[in-house]
Amino acid sequence: MKGQLVWMTEPMKFEIREYDLPKVEPEAVLLEVLQTNVCGSDLHIAKGDMPHLCNGGIGHEMVGRVIEMGDRRQTDSAGNPLKVGDRVVPCYLVTCNN
């Protein structure tokens, strides 16, 4: 199985790239992307408003399904039980929970 991502080669130029799926580390999970969202920062990046981000994978908001879990991963970041097949929404801004 291969993964795919949208890669921006320069502002407003995109291509679909394939990559080998990573080996899942003991504390990690591997997700299948089910649905994505385009947010305001993605639009600024795509237009070239953030020159330091003008060549790379784009997008950071998604709903996914757990397809593989590391040996030591049993919960999500909030401590709730997690298993293969669960749908998740990754949090791209993690706080200290205080």
Backbone angles phi, psi at 61, to 5 degrees: -125, 125
- The CB-of-92 to Zn ion minimum distance in angstroms stands at 7
**Minimum distance, C-beta of residue 42 to Zn ion, in the bound complex (Å):** 7
Interface with Zn ion (CB under 5 A) = 39, 41
Residue position matching structure tokens 């097949």: 85
Q: Decide whether 39 or 91 has the Cβ nearer to Zn ion.
A: 39
Nearest to 64 by CA among 39, 94, 92: 92
Name the residue number minimizing CB distance to Zn ion: 39
Contact call for residues 69 and 84 (beta carbons, < 8 A): yes
Closer to Zn ion at the Cβ: 60 or 73? Answer: 60
- CB closer to Zn ion out of 72 and 92: 92
Q: Which H or E run contains 32?
A: strand 29-37
User: In whole angstroms, how close is the CB of 53 to Zn ion at the nearest point?
Assistant: 12
